[in-house]
Amino acid sequence: MPGFELIGQEERDALNALMDEGGVFFAHGFDAKRKRYHVRELESDFREFLSCHDALCVSSGTAAIKVALKSLGVGFGDEVITQGFNFIADFEAIIDCGATPVVAGSDDTLNMDPAQLEGLITDKTKAIMPVHMLGVPARLDEIFAIAARHNIPVIEDACEAIGAKYNGRYAGTLGAAGVFSFDYGKAITTGEGGLVILNDEKMAVTARQYHDHGHMNLPDIPRGLDRAGVAGFNYRMSELNAVVGKVQLKKLDYIVAESGKRYKALDQGITSGVYKKRAVPEGAEPAYDTYIVEVADAQIREHAIQLLGDMGFGTKNLPDAMNWHCSVFWDHMGFDTKTQAQLDTLALLERQIAIPVMLGKPVEDFAELAVALNGLTG
């Protein structure tokens, strides 16, 4: 989660340059007042970096989810299978499309349990949306195999996993669609912003039109005379966000590499049997922004949480933001939140501690933290 830690002179210079070249903050039109189209350039940068078919910049990760769902035609009466350990945005987007979320529990990766997936598929299932929570990819081989048997598209929610890989490819680029978030707490940030990855040309066209009030952006036609291809909405990214994003993307490899050193210091240093380490699927490489352990002993868990606070690390989402990351708490959204899979997910999450990996702390501090955690007893 260190994107905001590295905001500095480069981002300031990029914003000042935007002002000097005309100060157009809008991503479309105003050709005579501007020299560049930064949102389009950022999309091109992401296509190259991620080696994907199409990349569409949008206003937030939540918007990215909604646009991806719309590109698949998700609507009233449909069902979308996702997971109980999540962020509330996935459920908000599904419900906002008029569809119903169907919730799978988690396996030892804390992501979607493929063993539960097939039993949740019905003739109403329009999409399957695994979420790569806190930097670790889900078991995509099994999920894709089940989806393929039923001819159901997969949307990867990689909002918390930019930079993670699965079988050598970037998480978020393997499904029919993928989504990323660049809010202020993500590995790279544009302040607010998101990205939609589309691997089908028809979906890509629909998404691009939908996020821009339906604009077809027909060539050689002024924007005011343009036509609408679909009923759309406004989920556009601004040029302000894009210029920051272009700078931050150049820092991503460094961020992942340096985060990895700190993550591995914990992984190698925590040796006490009271901690069960989060599973990482074979062939997966995390984004390394969060390290999670399970602690069955409630007293040791409380002591560990206190230790993290005392040493200046704190926790990330588990346990400090459970209400926003577990579907059991979302009764206000009008779906059944108390299925056994969701209750089991809550019980699993209540045993976890998520340690944020920050670049502001040297690797040695994470090694010292591991030693301190090993010393805790009931």
Q: Of 66, 70, 165, 186, which residue is the catalytic one?
A: 186
Tell me how far apart the alpha carbons of residues 214 and 244 are, in angstroms, rounded to a whole number: 26
Q: Where are the beta strands (DSSP E) in 13-135?
A: 54-58, 79-83, 100-104, 125-128
Check whether residue 43 and residue 88 sit in a common domain: yes
The parent domain of residue 316 ranges over 252-374
Whether the per-residue pLDDT at 6 is higher than 90: the answer is: yes
What torsion do the CA atoms of 166, 169, 173, 179 make, to the nearest 10 degrees? 60
Whether the per-residue pLDDT at 263 is higher than 90: the answer is: yes
What torsion do the CA atoms of 251, 255, 256, 258 make, to the nearest 10 degrees? 140
CB atoms under 10 Å from CB of 12, counted, come to: 12
Q: Backbone phi, then psi, for 275, in 5-degree steps?
A: -110, 130
The answer to whether the beta carbons of residues 327 and 342 sit under 8 Å apart is yes
Check whether residue 29 and residue 41 sit in a common domain: yes
Provide the CATH number for the domain around residue 309: 3.90.1150.10
Check whether residue 326 and residue 189 sit in a common domain: no
Whether the per-residue pLDDT at 168 is higher than 90: the answer is: yes
Given 218, 249, 280, the domain boundary residue is 249
Q: Which two tokens stand for residue 108?
A: 């030892």
The answer to whether the beta carbons of residues 154 and 129 sit under 8 Å apart is yes
Mean pLDDT for all residues in the chain: 97
Check whether residue 203 and residue 288 sit in a common domain: no
Residue 279 DSSP label: P
Given 190, 224, 249, the domain boundary residue is 249
186 is catalytic: yes
Q: How many alpha carbons fall within 13 Å on the CB side of residue 124?
A: 13
Tens digits of residue pLDDT in 71-109: 999 999 999 999 999 999 999 999 999 999 999 999 999
Tens digits of residue pLDDT in 308-351: 999 999 999 999 999 999 999 999 999 999 999 999 999 999 99
Asked if the peptide bond before residue 319 counts as cis, ω within 30 degrees of 0, the response is: yes
Tens digits of residue pLDDT in 207-250: 999 999 999 999 889 999 999 999 999 999 999 999 999 999 99
Q: Which two tokens stand for residue 142?
A: 């099994």
Provide the CATH number for the domain around residue 202: 3.40.640.10
15 CB burial (10 A radius; 0-12, 13-18, 19+): middle
Provide the percentage of residues in the chain whose pLDDT is more than 90: 97
For the chain, how many structural domains are there in total? 2
**CA dihedral over 199, 205, 208, 214, signed as positive or negative:** negative
**CA distances from residue 166 to 106, 137, 138 in whole angstroms, order as listed:** 18, 7, 9
Check whether residue 182 and residue 326 sit in a common domain: no
Given 195, 218, 249, the domain boundary residue is 249
pTM to 2 decimal places? 0.97
Residues 6+ apart with CB under 8 A from 34: 21, 22, 24
What is the length of the chain?
A: 378
Residues 6+ apart with CB under 8 A from 273: none
Residues 6+ apart with CB under 8 A from 209: 215, 216, 228, 229, 230, 232
Whether the per-residue pLDDT at 2 is higher than 90: the answer is: no
**What pLDDT band is residue 148 in, cutting at 50, 70 and 90?**
very high
Check whether residue 197 and residue 257 sit in a common domain: no
**What pLDDT band is residue 1 in, cutting at 50, 70 and 90?**
low
Check whether residue 183 and residue 279 sit in a common domain: no
Check whether residue 244 and residue 264 sit in a common domain: no
The answer to whether the beta carbons of residues 262 and 366 sit under 8 Å apart is yes
